[in-house]
Amino acid sequence: MTLTEKILARAAGKARVQAGDNVWVKADVLMTHDVCGPGTIGVFKREFGASAKVWDRNRVVIIPDHYIFTSDSKSNRNVDILREFVKEQGITYFYDVIDDPSGKWVFDAQKGMLKRQYGSRYAGVCHTALPQKGHTRPGEILFGTDSHTCMAGAFNQFATGIGNTDAGFVMGTGKLLLKVPETMHFRLEGALQPGVMAKDIVLHCIGEIGFDGATYRSLQFDGPGATALSIDDRMTIANMAIEAGGKNAMFEFDAQTKAFVDYRCKLNGTRADYEPVERDHDEKFVYETTVDLSKLEPTVACHPDPGQRKLARELGGIKVDRAYIGSCTGGKTSDFVEFARVLKGKRVVIDTFGVPATPEIVHDLQSVLWGDKSIWNILQDAGVQMTENAGCAACLGGPVDTFGRMNAPLKCISATNRNFPGRMGHKESQVFLASPATVAASALTGKITDPREHLPA
């Protein structure tokens, strides 16, 4: 069996499963957020009754993160609906925007977009927050009401996005009927060259198979090139499995995974027992390829979908109006570090927005000094508009007052993960997906630019 099949077999209580089998599996964690949470709660109450209780109050994790820093009253209200449900159900893990459990969330536009407006428990973008808060465990099953839930595949976990109806069912029963996906195998070999990042790996792979090339399939990444990647890099790659239509992504468990997960579970006091899965000799793959990482170059997915692969050096003529770094896939500390390495001591020439994925990342960037300046200050000095209000922000457009949203038919180079028409706002705007290094280099020139021309000596 493949790694995915092994996890699904165990969760189904079976010795073996194979691609195409339909199996009932037990969920280990169900995650929802402010956009899909209220709908999921509605389905749960409709189907299980107004006084029904969730199947396990310690396994439902609620993370508001999407439409938070906006004056849109309906979006603010969604956070309040989550808070009321958490109180009613006694749910343990709720990363509220405010500290007052009886309060109401109201964004204060007078304070502006850049200064922090959240309380002490707010966790930021759900997929980045889940591992930071100790909710991703190898060998487990994570369902989330968000397509990029597949990011937790970085931790040797079966993690996939589900709709509100399925999530309402999981909320009530802790189970879900799943078809076992076929597995595509990406063996990674070699090492990345300077200026080339994990984002380039996944954009390369999606370019190979197209934006629907992995529809309802598992994407397994392994080999020495995968082992050498950091946890952040694995998260970047796993996150974008869905951009090829993938059901989930999967990495092997190793010492790095163990160190990360054990530390995070201990830090947050979350459940620390887990059982990873290891590779078998009889894995059956529907597709196999080997990627030599040393041959990859800075890569861009052009408008209008993540499969429109080009090399950054081939796109030098394309002018962009703005640059954006942020999101679950591109707003991690390591992403901002590479971004800052390119920008340090220079000035951007186009509007450039920086949105850390979580408050912890804001703290990292403000506390790590390069010389006498924090990374945060280095980016501000370069002209980047950095917000402390960690969250999804303009990654998916959002209400019109969302920080960084494209409210006109502009072109943006972005470290985010999705670029279908209208994704970041205006329906005629265009998004070019790239690594943080490529976004930084492009911000310096106003054109899509290969970052290798701008690396520090």
Of 76 and 416, the one with the shorter C-beta distance to ligand SF4 is: 416
Contact present, 144 and 259 (Cβ < 8 Å) = no
- What string marks each residue from 405 to 424 as x (binds ligand SF4 by CB under 6 A) or -? -----------xx-------
Of 127 and 199, the one with the shorter C-beta distance to ligand SF4 is: 127
**Contact set for ligand SF4, span 311-330 (CB under 6 A):** 327-328
Q: Binding residues for ligand SF4, how many (CB under 6 A)?
A: 13
CA distance 293 to 327: 24
Contact present, 325 and 412 (Cβ < 8 Å) = no
**Contact set for ligand SF4, span 57-96 (CB under 6 A):** 66
Candidate ranges 54-62, 255-263, 307-315, 388-396; the one touching ligand SF4 (CB under 6 A): 388-396
Contact present, 159 and 176 (Cβ < 8 Å) = no
Burial code (b: 16+ CB inside 10 Å, e: under 16) for 351-381 equals bbbbbbbbbbbbebbeeeeeeeebbbbbbee
- The separation between CA 422 and the C-alpha centre of its own chain, rounded to angstroms, equals 19
Of 10 and 127, the one with the shorter C-beta distance to ligand SF4 is: 127
Q: Does residue 392 touch ligand SF4 according to CB under 6 A?
A: yes
Structure tokens at 65: 């993160």
Minimum distance of ligand SF4 from residue 124's CB (angstroms): 9
**Contact set for ligand SF4, span 114-133 (CB under 6 A):** 125-127
Q: Does residue 146 touch ligand SF4 according to CB under 6 A?
A: yes
Per-residue DSSP letter, 423: T
Q: Does residue 395 touch ligand SF4 according to CB under 6 A?
A: yes
CA distance 336 to 334: 5
Structure tokens at 363: 């703290």
Give the DSSP H/E element, type plus range, for residue 106: none
Minimum distance of ligand SF4 from residue 295's CB (angstroms): 28
CA distance 248 to 23: 16
Minimum distance of ligand SF4 from residue 126's CB (angstroms): 6
Q: Please name every residue paired with 447 in a beta bridge, in sequence order, or none if there are none.
A: 319
Of 197 and 395, the one with the shorter C-beta distance to ligand SF4 is: 395
Minimum distance of ligand SF4 from residue 240's CB (angstroms): 9
Residue found under tokens 């029904």: 52
Q: How far is CA 395 from CA 213, 285, 312, 333, 383, in A?
A: 23, 33, 21, 17, 20
Minimum distance of ligand SF4 from residue 314's CB (angstroms): 26
Q: Does residue 9 touch ligand SF4 according to CB under 6 A?
A: no
Contact present, 27 and 170 (Cβ < 8 Å) = yes
Minimum distance of ligand SF4 from residue 351's CB (angstroms): 19
Of 54 and 242, the one with the shorter C-beta distance to ligand SF4 is: 242
- What string marks each residue from 148 to 187 as x (binds ligand SF4 by CB under 6 A) or -? x---------------------------------------
Of 125 and 277, the one with the shorter C-beta distance to ligand SF4 is: 125
CA distance 25 to 158: 11
Sites of contact with ligand SF4 (CB under 6 A): 66, 125-127, 146, 148, 327-328, 392, 395-396, 416-417
